[in-house]
Chains A and B, each alone.
Chain A
Amino acid sequence: MSKTLLFKNAVVLDPRQSLKAKRDILVEGGKIKKLGSHLQDGGYDEVIDLEGRFIVPGFVDMHVHLREPGEENKETIFSGSRAAVAGGITSLCCMPNTQPPIDNPQTVKYVQERADKANMARIYPLGTITLQRGGDELTSYGTLLEEGVKAFSDDGKMVASSSVMYHAMSYIRKFDALIISHCEEETLSRDGEAHEGYWSSILGLQGLPPVAEELAVARDILLARDTGARLHLAHVSLARSVEWIKWAKEQGIKVTAETTPHHLLLDHSWLEGFNPQAKMRPPLRTEADRRALLQGLKSGVIDAVATDHAPHREEDKSGDFTSAAFGITGLETAVPLLLTELVKPGVISLEHLVSCYSCRPAEILGIDGGTIKEGSPADLVVLDLEAPGRVESRNFYSRGKNTPFEGWKTAGKPVMTVVEGQIKMKEGDLLEG
């Protein structure tokens, strides 16, 4: 770990310090030792000339399903963390809806050991809100926090009982820890397959009424208000959710929110032809919702982008729409797609993308990273904003090949990923330990 690395001729972009300037970065012991102009390039193990390309804090994905333990045929901590660094993601939170769920110290340790062994991205296991995600009994938050858990979520379903959620939020204040809420009122959404709207009506698919999300968003915001807990809303997909979050922030309620690349880029017309790759929860919504999410992201009402990376086996996604599983992968497509579809046309700035996919998530989770300053961990990504590419799932490191973006052309991608001072990815190739 004592390796020294010098990045020369980089344009360092760190929204947290409002920094965008030509700098050299000296990395030592896994940390950023020095940030300056024209650092001497003698005596280092490696000197890398970035030729004026951008170097930004490594991306931080708050919402990833690594499937391990229990569903290793879909993804493993090994394959998922490789996919992450290939996509420029240096830190990720893995959701606890595994089998068994991450609701006890043993499973937390298991995930951490597997992550250490994979030795790629930093992996932060999240804990469940309730034991077994059963919605009844609270998980031992204090115990799991001591094990290194950063936040709690029953992701995949809502904590149905308002009373249980009220007590969870009440109790967790002792630790000022974060609750991440999956917003979907289940009596309304139970049989749903697609956003209840024009396309579900025309295609004869079971609708997921939008109010199911909105009800849950509103309830959890009100519970956060009365308890004072810190609440983060996962994969927000509706214009009206954005309105609620805006209101909550104006009231001073401690709420943050994320949305996904696919909700920012696609709408429910992708269902046409019963495309199983467009089947996910929350579902793809209307064009008006998509625009509102973009607007929410631009204005800061929505704090973060997160992929909700949900890998599936080929056979679970290649059948007819009704039997297909919910969810798409995202780790290897998020950065190239957001650079191409949002940054390049000027919808959001590169600074803003880095802010909402690195700085803010790190702040919300209270983890290191998300910044480039002396003393902070050397979690870095080099971006080439011109590099052409194409989404080709067969080249994914992830086991999940399920993406609606297959064949999309991209311009701009991560070309180097550095985690804790070690180069993990270079020009698309992974560098093992």
Chain B
Amino acid sequence: MSIEIQGVTKVFGDFKALDRIDLTVPSGELVALLGPSGSGKTTLLRVIAGLESADEGSILFDGEDATTRHVRERGVGFVFQHYALFRHMSVFENVAFGLRVRPRKLRPSREDIRERVMKLLKLVQLEHLGKRYPGQLSGGQRQRVALARALAVEPKVLLLDEPFGALDARVRQELRSWLRRLHDEIHVTSVFVTHDQEEALEVADRVVVMSGGRIEQIGTPEEVFHHPANEFVMHFLGNVNVFHGRVEGGKAVFGDVAVEHGETATATRSSEIEPLDDEAKPAKVFIRPHEWDIAVYRNGRPAMEAVVIHVNAAGPVVKVSLLSESGEPVHAELPLEHYRSLELRTGQRVFLSPRKVKVFFD
């Protein structure tokens, strides 16, 4: 089932949680709402679920207006960050709940319920724990029970609020790829909220980046990562070095370095300046840590001089902290083999040339 959100606004007191949000989620897609806390992502999810009502705008399910529909009639499965399991019920009863509360006419028979619950428990790999109580399960198991419970009512839309937020890193990683596989199996339209950009980029078909109650960018993980629409998205999706510079004659200039910024800078929201203007325009230059080439000697490429301050070589990617000539901290990342061949030492003077820069006008 597709979801259409049209001009939805939600205000709590004098805090605008959602500001005229427009968003379409096509049927069968797995979409991530990504943003820092307070960006309105959870509120948007709750508005879709019907747990919160929109002050303005409307929600359409498959083209049908569902704005005023009660949560129990929306046919959504909701998974909460802290599981919200029924503690006094066994795992089996938790999953069966949605079927048991149906009106008599629609309620499956006892055997059907049993069969369906067992099938779901198998799907979430907990078929042997049906008799346990939530208090006896680990966090990851609880979240899988919550997911099975939400799926039991065969929702047309699955909504997950920071589903892995309360879990430790390894379980999180496991459940993440498991969720992706599950979605590929059952293909239910799903929206999940996260503040973890890695999670969003890894799991989702499409990522919706939010901040301050507005949508900053919508795109595939690749699009939002490689072609961020604005500074916020650039900052939010991974580490980035920022230099105050200018754009002059089609080149990005910061410090002593002037480079072609291959990709035409997308104008920021406020300005529509033609970037190829000869006149110098002040701009911010963004360089991701892995986009640096580090050289021990000057090799003719435009480069900035910097001193190595700290090296973290624990892992396949080596993280190097440097200090530029003008005293700005710079972060760079390079493959382990490359790092070994360079023989970098703390205190060493090196030359940094960016392979790719991204420019946003001030």
Answer yes or no: are A and B bound together in one complex.
no
Binding site for A on B (CB under 8 A): none
Binding site for B on A (CB under 8 A): none
